[in-house]
Structure formats: C-alpha cells, structure tokens
C-alpha cells in the first residue's frame, strides 16, 4: 500500500472473540474484518457459532473475551452507540401479521421517532416492490414478500450496518432470489452487510468476502477467487451440462406464471 494512501478502518472489526455456554466452547478466538459497503458472508454448519457471533455484534449477548467494534463503537463499552448504527434481521421475519405492510413500517418509523413515518413507509414499499401490497395484511404475504418487508423495516433510520442471520432459511427458490436482489441493492447503496448462511451458493452469489467458521474460529477467509485458489488446479473435462433442479423449477414456474397472465 502507498504510504500516502490513508488507511481505511473496517466498519466491523472482531479480534479474538470468545464465548462458551455451560463449559462448551462455541467461539474460540474469532477474527474478522468487514470493509464499508461490502457484503461479508460467514459460513458454517449448524452449531458453528454464526448466530452467537451476530448476537454479540448486535449487543444482545456478551462475549467472554476479545474485542468487537462496529461502526467505530466497541460493543462492550458503547452498546447504545452500536445499536444506533445497526439493524438485525433474524432467521424468521419479525413482522406483525395482523397489520398491513405499510402499518408495520409506519409503526417502526414512529418508534424510531422519524418526522414523517408515512412518507418513510411509502418510500420503502416502493423501493422493495411492495407498493401494491402495502395496504394488505401481512398474513396474506408470501415468504419472499415477508422477508423483503422485514429487511425494509430494518432499514428505517438508515443504519450503516445490517446483520442478516440466515436470511433465506425456509424460503422457496424464487423468494430466495428476491432476497438476493435486495441484499445486492443494499450493498450497492453503501450499506455494510454481514450475513450468515449455510447455503454455499448464497455466499457465492452475494459476498465480496467469505469467512468459514469452524471449530470456534474463522479458519479461512477471502474472496471467492482466493478461496478457490486454495484448491488444486482444476482438471479440464468435457461433460454434458445438465440443468440443476433449481433451474428446472424456476423455468417451469416462470413459464406457468407467464401463461397464466395471458389467459
């Protein structure tokens, strides 16, 4: 790096993070660094500690050791400042099914003491392609629509950092693609996104950098290209390319939707 180039501090910086439950070590020295405006995917199997890491960064859980800084604030010594800078979307959409989509957004905007909650709600409904459904009860929404509404609610107040804990769990392929599009738009707009996932394809599609959490530590991290370079050189073979089941599903359902709209 050129000596004249100013050093850019990461928006999320974690060093030697540790946490145990009843003597069971879950995090055993986690280190990670997330630049501003990027998408960082934390991969790991069930029980690897992904959600524990997110909960510590979101100030919902105290670490046993190590340090974590989010948006320039230490999660242990300045939790209130951290909460002002973040939003957290968990594995299940935290929306009120009795209310309409717009009412959910207005409620959160009022809780955040925004001056024009109605205007904020309408802007987010348009941004997340939910304007036509804004007046309908959330109980009538599809899984993808609920997740988009959930993420829209998390953006009220323009937090610079978003935590997405397994955002596409339980969603069908089409809904998952909708969420992927939303995450890409967030990062394009300058929001820093840390997401956890078990889906390798999700990390491939979304992440600027990927960390693999295993045995309580991030054992390797880097760009997709850097991680692929860790493997032996690819052996070139000529094979017949067959569509995946997901590609078949999306092709059939999109065709049915098109034909149905023409009837």
CA gap 49, 52 in Å, rounded:
5
Looking at residue 112, what is its pLDDT? 86
Task: Identify whether 123 is part of a domain.
Answer: no
Range of the domain at 65: 12-93+161-232+240-262
Task: Identify whether 252 is part of a domain.
Answer: yes
Sheet holding 12-21, edge to edge: 24-34, 12-21, 65-70, 73-74
Looking at residue 148, what is its pLDDT? 86
Task: Identify whether 132 is part of a domain.
Answer: no
Task: Identify whether 136 is part of a domain.
Answer: no
Task: Identify whether 122 is part of a domain.
Answer: no
Q: What mean pLDDT comes out for the span 193-221?
A: 90
* pLDDT over threshold 70, residue 37: yes
Strand spans (E) along 135-204: 161-165, 192-197
Least reliable range by pLDDT among 83-87, 101-105, 143-147, 209-213: 143-147
Q: How many domains does the chain have?
A: 1
Q: Which of residues 173 and 5 earns the better pLDDT score?
A: 173
Q: What is the pTM of this model?
A: 0.79
Which tens digits make up the pLDDT trace of 98-134?
999 999 999 999 988 899 999 999 999 998 889 999 9
Which tens digits make up the pLDDT trace of 146-203?
888 988 888 888 889 999 988 888 777 887 888 888 888 888 888 999 999 888 888 8
Task: Identify whether 207 is part of a domain.
Answer: yes
CATH number of the domain that 182 lies in? Answer: 3.40.50.300
Task: Identify whether 138 is part of a domain.
Answer: no
CA distances from 109 to 126, 127, 131, 144, 224 (A): 16, 16, 17, 22, 37
Task: Identify whether 111 is part of a domain.
Answer: no
């Amino acid at each position: 790096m050129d000596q004249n180039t100013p050093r850019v501090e990461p928006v999320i910086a974690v060093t030697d993070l540790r946490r145990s439950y009843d003597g069971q070590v879950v995090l055993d020295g986690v280190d990670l660094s997330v630049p501003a405006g990027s998408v960082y995917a934390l991969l790991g199997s069930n029980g690897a500690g992904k959600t524990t890491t997110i909960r510590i960064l979101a100030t919902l859980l105290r670490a046993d050791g190590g340090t974590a800084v989010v948006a320039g604030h230490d999660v242990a010594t300045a939790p209130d400042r951290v909460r002002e800078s973040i939003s957290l979307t968990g594995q299940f959409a935290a929306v009120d099914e009795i209310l309409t989509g717009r009412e959910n957004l207005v409620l959160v905007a009022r809780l955040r003491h925004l001056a024009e909650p109605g205007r904020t709600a309408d802007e987010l409904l348009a941004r997340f392609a939910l304007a036509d459904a804004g007046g309908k009860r959330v109980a009538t929404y599809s899984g993808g629509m609920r997740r988009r509404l959930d993420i829209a609610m998390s953006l009220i107040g323009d937090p610079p950092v978003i935590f997405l804990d397994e955002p596409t769990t339980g969603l069908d392929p089409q809904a998952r693609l909708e969420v992927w599009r939303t995450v890409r738009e967030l990062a394009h707009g300058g929001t820093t996104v840390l997401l956890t996932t078990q889906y390798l394809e999700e990390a491939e599609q979304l992440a600027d950098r990927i960390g693999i959490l295993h045995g309580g530590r991030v054992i390797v991290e880097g760009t997709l290209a850097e991680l692929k370079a860790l493997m032996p050189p690819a052996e070139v073979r000529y094979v017949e390319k067959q569509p995946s089941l997901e590609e078949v599903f999306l092709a059939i359902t999109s065709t049915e939707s098109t034909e149905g709209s023409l009837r």
